[in-house]
């Protein structure tokens, strides 16, 4: 049986009591995920080889391989031919479009310019608190930003983050940072976004969003509400975006 994650360091491995109903490779996947959550291997770093992990957990190399295949399918790790398996990172170009599905009707998809309008700590409204699984009134970070494609404002984002996880996030730091936002969360705050749920609906631009996006009030917009999760299925971000889709479309590949 695999090692018990709650055992003291150096203690002999024991059964994973809480997951004995799972297939063995799923138990190993859980143990590796727990190590990723603890930061044993950082984003971008190589994890031990299949042989080393098999020895560590006292299982076959085939079981470890199946566990890593499952982790790769969930974008937690990346296999690189001839080099090994690495912890996935938001700084990789391939990862930058996992959570940004807006594609131009013509031309190639490219990452937009970010322009931050505000960043401040506030008390969580009840609906945001419910989605983040915190108490109403708890501290959150509120950000508003515009995404510009080829200089034109296309997306207006309102982003709410758990305040305890993002201490020190300021408008100044955001203005200095030039990479993907999730890359900043990962490298400076140790928060990696793993998956998200989204709700889409059509809305009309109100006065404020019309002004920021430089369209007429009532212009049809695509509203995208996202809740993003880190390890342990913990919600850490609520994002409400308004998208202009006159020359872009929202593309999500299923299956």
pLDDT tens readout for residues 36-66: 999 999 999 999 999 999 999 999 999 999 9
Nearest Cα to Cα of residue 120 among 170, 158, 86, 76: 170
Q: Is the pLDDT reported for residue 5 higher than 50?
A: no
196 and 238 in a single domain? The answer is yes
Q: What is the pLDDT of residues 6-30, one digit of tens each?
A: 444 444 344 444 445 789 999 999 9
The rounded radius of gyration (Å) of the Cα atoms in the chain is 21
> In this structure, is residue 8 part of a structural domain?
no
Backbone angles phi, psi at 146, to 5 degrees: -115, 135
154 and 192 in a single domain? The answer is yes
193 and 232 in a single domain? The answer is yes
116 and 182 in a single domain? The answer is yes
Instruction: Say if CB 196 and CB 99 are below 8 A apart.
Output: yes
> In this structure, is residue 5 part of a structural domain?
no
When pLDDT is cut at 50, 70 and 90, the band that residue 105 belongs to is confident
Instruction: Say if CB 237 and CB 230 are below 8 A apart.
Output: no
82 and 119 in a single domain? The answer is no
Q: What is the pLDDT of residues 230-239, one digit of tens each?
A: 999 999 999 9
pLDDT over 90 percentage in the chain: 73
Query: How far is Cα 90 from Cα 62, in angstroms, rounded to an integer?
Result: 28
- Comparing 31-35, 106-110, 137-141, 209-213, the range with the smallest average pLDDT is 106-110
CB atoms within 10 A of CB 57: 21
108 and 23 in a single domain? The answer is no
Q: Is the pLDDT reported for residue 159 higher than 70?
A: yes
24 and 99 in a single domain? The answer is no
Pairing between β-strand 102-104 and β-strand 84-87 as defined by DSSP bridges: unpaired
Domain that includes residue 68, residue range: 17-87
Q: CA of 69: how far to CAs of 25, 26, 56, 172, in Å?
A: 10, 11, 18, 40
Query: How far is Cα 245 from Cα 254, in angstroms, rounded to an integer?
Result: 20
121 and 35 in a single domain? The answer is no
Query: How far is Cα 37 from Cα 51, in angstroms, rounded to an integer?
Result: 22
157 and 62 in a single domain? The answer is no
Q: How many domains does the chain have?
A: 2
């Amino acid at each position: 049986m695999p090692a018990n994650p709650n055992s003291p360091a150096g203690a002999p491995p024991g059964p994973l009591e809480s997951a004995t109903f799972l297939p063995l490779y799923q138990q190993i996947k859980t143990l590796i995920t727990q190590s990723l959550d603890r930061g044993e291997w950082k984003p971008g770093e190589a994890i031990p080889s299949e042989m080393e992990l098999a020895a560590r957990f006292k299982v076959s190399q085939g079981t470890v391989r199946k566990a890593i295949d499952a982790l790769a399918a969930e974008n937690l790790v990346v296999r690189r031919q001839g080099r090994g398996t690495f912890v996935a990172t938001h700084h990789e170009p391939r990862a930058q479009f996992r959570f940004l599905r807006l594609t131009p009707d013509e031309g190639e998809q490219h990452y937009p310019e970010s322009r931050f309008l505000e960043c401040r700590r506030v008390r969580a409204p009840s609906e945001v608190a419910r989605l983040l699984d915190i108490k109403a009134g708890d501290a959150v970070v509120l950000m508003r930003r515009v995404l510009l494609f080829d200089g034109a404002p296309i997306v207006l984002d309102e982003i709410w983050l758990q305040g305890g996880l993002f201490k020190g996030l300021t408008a100044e730091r955001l203005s200095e940072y030039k990479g993907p936002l999730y890359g900043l969360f990962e490298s400076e705050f140790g928060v990696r976004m793993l998956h998200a749920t989204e709700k889409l609906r059509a809305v009309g631009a109100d006065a404020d969003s019309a002004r920021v996006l430089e369209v007429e009030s009532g212009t049809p917009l695509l509203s995208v509400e996202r809740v993003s999760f880190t390890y342990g299925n913990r919600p850490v971000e609520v994002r409400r975006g308004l998208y202009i889709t006159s020359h872009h479309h929202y593309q999500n590949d299923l299956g």
